[in-house]
Amino acid sequence: MRLTDQQLLQQTPLYAELGPAVADRVFRNAVVQTVRRGGTVFHQGDVATHVHVLLSGQVALIAEDITLGPTIIEFFPAGEIFVAPAGLLELPHLVSARATEDSRVLSMAAQELRGLIAAESALAVAMTRALARHWRLLVRQIKELKLKSASQRLGSYLIAKAPVRAGATSFRLAEERKMIAARLGMTPESLSRAFAQLKTAGVSGRGRHIEIADVSTLSAHCRFEEGH
């Protein structure tokens, strides 16, 4: 493992939770690879042999359907573990993982990880916490898909990405709009119209640059509930 990769790894929440001693044992046999933007880390349907940690960049979990095309389940930023469930259960991946930016990906053998969870209690705790957090991301998304309109889902997504919880703000989206549309379960055309609708709620911006006049106003418009 390169020195820069080592440094990136040390910045992850997972490393902090484990502490240096445990982390050294856990990641001893891990390998790191570069995945270029658009490159694939693993394919849906393949039996999971490794579990990954994203050191830098961003990956999208993509569900590919032969007839209806691909859709994005979730984006994962640097520092996240993905996708533990398939590896822990020795089952085929339900989704593909594709880099949406040039990324450095650390990979560890799933079989070894299963042994380490049994042997290193700090890792077991960290792993349950990571799975639990991701579980909650998915539940939130299901709630939004079932209960909210396209523009409300977009509003909630923007609020989650915004650097502040109230007042005016502006920021840059890491994802291109086509991808955001897939993540939100709509077409790029509908996303464009959702943006148009949110102008009345104080959302403006060109391309990936977003400006929100008042995050609280937008929250109200989207019935965005912080934790729930």
Structure tokens at 52: 């990954």
Rounded Cα distance, 185 and 204, in Å: 21
For position 220 contacting its own copies by CB under 8 A, the verdict is no
Structure letter (DSSP) for residue 70: E
Cβ proximity to its own copies: between 3 and 118 the closer is 118
Draw the binding track, 122-161, toward DNA (x: CB under 7 A; -: no contact).
---------------------------xxx----------
Picked from its own copies, DNA, none, the partner binding residue 84 (CB below 5 to 8 A depending on kind) is its own copies
Site stretch for its own copies (CB under 8 A), options 24-32, 134-142, 166-174, 201-209? 134-142
CA distance 225 to 203: 18
Whether 161 and 173 have beta carbons less than 8 Å apart is answered as yes
Site membership for its own copies, residue 43 (CB under 8 A)? no
Residue 36 Cα distances to 59, 88, 101, angstroms: 10, 26, 7
Pick the binder of its own copies from 143, 178, 199, 208 (CB under 8 A): 143
Query: Where does this chain touch its own copies (CB under 8 A) — which range of 99-107, 145-153, 163-171, 195-203?
Result: 145-153
Of 49, 208, 211, 225, which one interacts with DNA (CB under 7 A)? 208
- Least distance (Å) from its own copies to the CB of residue 205? 25
Under the binding rule (CB under 8 A), the answer on residue 127 touching its own copies is yes
Ramachandran angles phi, psi of 49, nearest 5°:
-110, -20
Q: Residue 216: CB partners within 8 Å, gap ≥ 6? A: 166, 167
Residue 124 within binding range of its own copies, rule CB under 8 A: yes
Query: Per rule CB under 8 A, is residue 111 in the interface with its own copies?
Result: no
Give residues with Cβ within 8 angstroms of 151, minimum separation 6. 193, 194, 197, 198, 222
- The helices-and-strands tally (H runs, E runs) of the chain is 9, 11
What are the CA-CA distances from residue 76 to residues 58, 96, 120, 122, 199 (Å)? 6, 13, 25, 23, 28
Binding site for its own copies (CB under 8 A): 44-45, 61, 63, 65-69, 71, 73, 84-86, 88-89, 91-92, 94-95, 114, 117-119, 121-122, 124-125, 127-129, 131-136, 138-143, 145-148, 185, 223, 225, 227-228
Binding site for DNA (CB under 7 A): 149-151, 176-178, 185-196, 206-208
